């Protein structure tokens, strides 16, 4: 499965500049295309972000967040800076650490992912499902029924195993109980 990075080379250039990126990816003694190094850093940053966010949000929602694009570019820039064993600037390292702390808070549920137009919708509806049951005495076999007026959630599935209804307390012939078939 291929991973489509959340950020692009242009986003990383906003952190390092085109010349800064060129200094960090150009190796004279290899035959590997230079954009492969940058793409590897972007994919690695995207996978790190997915580790924290995919359990709560869909990838389309994550991709639409400007904040996620910015931290993906920052993480990729940090990985790019450390690619050959070099150090990363302290300001960029602090920014990445701050972003990872926020990602941890989002993963724990203490914080929500913010989109440009508000809070991101979660992958799953976390509202509790409440059902108010009642015992239906109009059936030969006691059944637990849902009261739709005071319950939340979708419509209940229809059951094909219901026992025929009985008239209460006497059936049509005047006798006690017994099923009355339509």
Predicted pLDDT of residue 138: 66
What average pLDDT does range 168-182 have in this prediction? Answer: 48
Mean pLDDT, range 163-182, rounded to an integer? 48
Q: What is the pLDDT of residue 96?
A: 93
Out of 66-80, 122-136, 156-170, the most confident range is 66-80
Q: What is the pLDDT of residue 124?
A: 75
Asked if the model's pLDDT at residue 162 lies above 70, the reply is: no
Q: What is the pLDDT of residue 171?
A: 47
Per-residue pLDDT at 5 exceeds 90 = yes
Does residue 167 register a pLDDT over 80?
no
Per-residue pLDDT tens digits for 14-70? 988 887 877 788 776 666 676 788 899 999 999 999 999 998 999 999 999 999 999
Q: Which residue, 17, 116, 12, is CA-closest to 70? A: 12
Mean pLDDT value across the chain: 78
- Which of 48 and 163 is assigned the larger pLDDT? 48
Specify the pLDDT at position 72: 95
Return the percentage of the chain with pLDDT > 90, whole number. Answer: 36
Give the pLDDT score at 126: 62
| Better pLDDT: 76 or 29 | 76
């Amino acid at each position: 499965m291929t991973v489509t990075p959340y950020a692009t080379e242009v986003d990383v250039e906003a952190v390092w500049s085109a010349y800064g990126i060129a200094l960090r990816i150009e190796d004279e003694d290899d035959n590997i295309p230079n954009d492969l190094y940058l793409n590897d850093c972007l994919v690695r940053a995207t996978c790190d972000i997915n580790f924290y966010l995919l359990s709560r949000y869909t990838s389309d929602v994550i991709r639409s967040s400007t904040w996620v694009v910015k931290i993906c570019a920052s993480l990729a820039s940090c990985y790019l800076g450390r690619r050959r064993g070099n150090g990363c600037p302290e300001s960029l390292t602090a920014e990445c650490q701050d972003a990872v702390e926020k990602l941890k808070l989002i993963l724990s549920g203490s914080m929500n992912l913010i989109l440009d137009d508000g809070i991101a919708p979660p992958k799953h509806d976390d509202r509790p499902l409440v059902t108010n049951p009642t015992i239906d005495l109009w059936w030969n076999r006691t059944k637990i029924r849902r009261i739709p007026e005071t319950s939340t959630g979708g419509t209940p599935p229809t059951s094909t195993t219901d026992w025929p209804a009985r008239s209460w307390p006497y059936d049509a012939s005047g006798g006690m109980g017994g099923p009355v078939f339509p």
